[in-house]
């Protein structure tokens, strides 16, 4: 069972503030890129999901904990793991690291919505099937 997908990110000048430290909102961008790349890795592209299953994914909630600063030119990794898949919600657990040092952690709740009406809908069956091997162990498993 795989439990995390890892995506590399390099910190560019545009990601930092005047002090050369990554601006806080950019951690969310790094996490978004990693989730999108991971879905692409699983052959779950956003366009075909909308066309074939009338489903889009939108962020419902994001909780980020900033532990250490990332700086200009840092080589980072962004991990994506699945905590839970419910009828219309996927809970992602993410972390951003520089080597072995954890810089930020995040819990991102993503909701499936219909592409045609932007109302909550069930996570499409192919997505649920593709996510199963990536689920984190739950207490009692």
Domains of the chain: 5-134 (3.10.129.10)
What's the token pair of residue 26? 């950019």
Q: Could you tell me the pTM of the whole model?
A: 0.91
Instruction: For residues 81 and 20, give the distance between their C-alpha atoms in angstroms, rounded to a whole number.
Output: 29
15 is catalytic: no
Active-site residue, from 17, 54, 100, 141: 17
pLDDT digits (tens, 9 = 90+) for 106-139: 999 999 999 999 999 999 999 999 998 888 887 7
């Amino acid at each position: 069972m795989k439990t995390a997908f890892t995506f590399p990110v390099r910190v560019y000048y545009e990601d930092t503030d005047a002090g050369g430290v990554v601006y806080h909102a950019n951690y969310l961008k790094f996490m978004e890129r990693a989730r999108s790349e991971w879905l692409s890795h699983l052959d779950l592209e956003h366009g075909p999901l909308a066309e074939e299953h009338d489903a889009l994914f939108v962020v419902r909630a994001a909780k980020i904990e900033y532990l250490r600063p990332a700086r200009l030119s840092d080589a980072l990794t962004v991990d994506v793991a699945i905590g839970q898949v419910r009828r219309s919600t996927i809970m992602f657990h993410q972390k951003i690291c520089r080597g072995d040092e954890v810089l930020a952690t995040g819990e991102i709740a993503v909701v499936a919505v219909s592409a045609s009406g932007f109302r909550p809908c069930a996570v499409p069956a192919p997505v649920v099937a593709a996510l199963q091997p990536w689920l984190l162990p739950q207490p009692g498993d």
